[in-house]
Amino acid sequence: MGYVAVRGGGKAIEESLKLLEYERVNTSSAWGTDEIEGTFPELVDQVMGEASLYAPRLAALALKQAQGSPDEAVFLLRA
């Protein structure tokens, strides 16, 4: 599989980031850390395990700040 250059890729990435931020800010019902802990206990456990820190509330908060990305949440929890 080869690499294909696409014109306007930088602009598309910028616009997608703007859309992501708009969706994050303007959602009608933001999830709280209690809801994240209750709904995704395995994901919270995974984040805590990879970050080597037992803190369920902080892991849920990291997931919320990372917009559901476990890798980013682990980084945030370690920090």
Judge whether 46 lies within some domain. yes
What is the domain range of residue 47? Answer: 9-78
Burial class (CB in 10 A: 0-12, 13-18, 19+), 75: middle
Report whether 34 contacts 56 (CB < 8 A). Answer: no
Per this entry, what is the length of the chain?
79
Residue 4, domain member (yes or no): no
Both tokens of residue 47?
């984040």
Task: Tell me if 22 is assigned to some domain.
Answer: yes
Distance CA(24)–CA(38), nearest Å, equals 21
Q: Structurally, how many domains does the chain consist of?
A: 1
Query: What is the arithmetic mean of pLDDT over 46-67?
Result: 94
* Cα dihedral value 16, 44, 79, 70, nearest 10: -30
pTM of the full structure: 0.66
- pLDDT tens digits, 1-55: 555 566 677 788 888 888 888 877 776 567 889 999 999 999 999 999 999 999 9
